[in-house]
Structure 1
């Protein structure tokens, strides 16, 4: 009965808060509706300037192929190479392509014509991807291999991002908000009253965590619904697999939040530690950069990051249709994190008599 009253007390406090109830639902909606469009590595509408020195039907067809591509936008047709470079320097073009004289003649005679590509590499990723896209258009069409893309046939980057963003939302709602709630009670002194009451540590802690766990699952369903409604992204695997993995992951982030709250005396201190942890976790989770592309020392550190394992689970279930048997290693690792963090939280929590 005591636990029930504590849970009711937490829900009343959340409801009475002027901003928190709106934050709990506006924040996930903003993450799901804005970040998949902004946090993308897809490069489109690259401005290209083409210098056509050949002026032949073949060169015109090539220019039309480039114009038809969704990755490029023809902005200029400079007469000379220096004028094309000037367009890059003045920000009117991202790439300059120069078609040499005799381009059509070389093709008729069966030889490969050389085409010059100059890319603005201030943004290295944009320059490299733009040049790569352009080279694929320039490749001869005869004898090309048939390519099939597994799990994401349309190469939609949002398919990769949306399941992972749900991880960030659960960390904030089920990990950091309960920790901030506990620290705020430290600052106001109300936790001292709980410490001298007959309420046990476990009951008090569950009373703080369970409301946010319930809200976390509610928000997770909201995110799954938004992914299906807005992006037409639905899990290929069983939804129960996601719920099971989310339950284990919530235990992990809640344990982390308890550890942070035990060592924090003020809200400012707790928020600083949480921001530091969140920044490291996000950068080392594979959210934006594939883990395989990181240096070896960074790849080793990612094994200590619980976000990595839950993101892998979400992407596996959403894209590959993985079952419980496929994610068992990630679940066992997350269970190990949860056990370690809760043992640490129990050890570091000192209830004053």
Structure 2
């Protein structure tokens, strides 16, 4: 135990002396969290709409006015000419073209169920899908309002009024994307910074020559890895704590679950990613190599962690590959506990997967460390 204690003291002294690490522990994560949580959003705003109004009726004017008044849309133009509307889309200015055909209102009041045409610029798939959904919902609301204001129209629909769906958003009722993104970005920053710092650690000692002095001592391999792991575990917990405080103060994220559960899982996850970082560091010859290899895993972890793309929307094979992704489990736990107030039984599988990964990564880190006496 004395040897491990001296190793931990040595690592803490190196961390305190290194101004770069101190900066990465304090200022940079806070700036990244604030910027990314504010900027990273799946919310679609400012959908550019052109309306081709060939009907010039009360209903078409109502639809136009609602589009113009809605915060989600920007009405670029209202025209009679379809070619003029196509010019807007061809130039990339328009996201959606809504064409209201001639005699639309007359056919509607006769109960003939007339159709409108919606042309969507699908180069940006998310803008197209969400924007057209917004516009379809607005048109459905107009249709519902007309049926309510004109009871006589019910006779043309066999006396049945169309069903009304009332949505109730749980856990994030105001649909604030910072509340959704901040816990995920916090988990991402904590895990990724710890991976990079630990991946560079052993290589740095090898480059400056201090690793040779350690190798001639009677320190066992597992003691060496444990001595490296504990200080960076403390670094990760400091990052997690500062990130939670910042998220609460700046974004006002709700904390509905147990903080003991968050930090308990955080310790396990940090130990897991530290094992991976130390494993990378054992095989790398230079810090540059360690950074490149670490970024290889970092990019895979980010793209397949569910932060920006729901895991359920991925192909089945990709969903399977998220199981050995500690970042995906960290994001899942933080969102479930902080936003939903989930308990241990709700996140037990994340604990099981992460504990298994922690054992595997750290075992290989100990095995791969080459100690020559």
Q: Place the TM-score, normalised by the shorter chain, in its bin.
A: over 0.9
Match of 1:260 in 2: 280
CA-CA distance at 1:137 after TM superposition: 0.7
Do structure 1's residue 186 and structure 2's residue 206 form an aligned pair?
A: yes
CA-CA distance at 1:81 after TM superposition: 0.8
CA-to-aligned-CA distance 1:274-316 (integer Å, 9 cap, x gap): 1111111122221211111111211222222222222221111
In structure 2, the gaps of 5 or more residues are 145-161
Match of 2:84 in 1: 83
Do structure 1's residue 174 and structure 2's residue 175 form an aligned pair?
A: no
User: Aligned in 2, Cα 1:45/1:328: closer, same or farther, shift over 3 Å?
Assistant: same
CA-CA distance at 1:267 after TM superposition: 0.9
**Residues 117-156 of structure 1 mapped to structure 2, 5 A cutoff:** 117-139=118-140, 140-141=143-144, 143-156=163-176
Match of 2:227 in 1: 207
CA-CA distance at 1:154 after TM superposition: 2.8
Match of 1:73 in 2: 74
Alignment match of 2:294 (pick from 258, 265, 274): 274
Q: Conserved in 2, the CA contact under 8 Å of 1:224 and 1:234?
A: no
CA-CA distance at 1:123 after TM superposition: 1.3
Do structure 1's residue 333 and structure 2's residue 353 form an aligned pair?
A: yes
CA-to-aligned-CA distance 1:63-91 (integer Å, 9 cap, x gap): 12112322211122233111011011123
CA-to-aligned-CA distance 1:117-153 (integer Å, 9 cap, x gap): 1111111221122111111111132531222222232
Once the two structures are overlaid, the 10-residue window that deviates more, 27-36 or 9-18, is: 9-18
**Residues 1-353 of structure 1 mapped to structure 2, 5 A cutoff:** 1-139=2-140, 140-141=143-144, 143-353=163-373
Q: Secondary structure at 2:322's aligned position in 1?
A: helix
TM normalised by structure 2 equals 0.88
Cα distance in 1 between the residues matched to 2:132 and 2:303 = 27
Cα distance in 1 between the residues matched to 2:137 and 2:244 = 36
Q: Conserved in 2, the CA contact under 8 Å of 1:176 and 1:254?
A: no
Q: Secondary structure at 2:122's aligned position in 1?
A: coil
Cα distance in 1 between the residues matched to 2:7 and 2:355 = 27
Q: Conserved in 2, the CA contact under 8 Å of 1:162 and 1:227?
A: yes
Q: Secondary structure at 2:169's aligned position in 1?
A: coil
Q: Conserved in 1, the CA contact under 8 Å of 2:184 and 2:331?
A: yes
Q: Conserved in 1, the CA contact under 8 Å of 2:229 and 2:271?
A: no
CA-CA distance at 1:5 after TM superposition: 4.3
User: Aligned in 2, Cα 1:3/1:343: closer, same or farther, shift over 3 Å?
Assistant: closer
Q: Which runs of 4+ in 1 moved over 4 A?
A: 1-5
Cα distance in 1 between the residues matched to 2:17 and 2:320 = 45
Number of corresponding residues? 353
Cα distance in 1 between the residues matched to 2:252 and 2:107 = 47
Match of 2:156 in 1: none
Q: Secondary structure at 1:51's aligned position in 2?
A: strand
Once the two structures are overlaid, the 10-residue window that deviates more, 177-186 or 11-20, is: 11-20
User: Aligned in 2, Cα 1:37/1:112: closer, same or farther, shift over 3 Å?
Assistant: farther
Q: Secondary structure at 2:361's aligned position in 1?
A: helix
TM normalised by structure 1 equals 0.93
In structure 1, the gaps of 5 or more residues are none
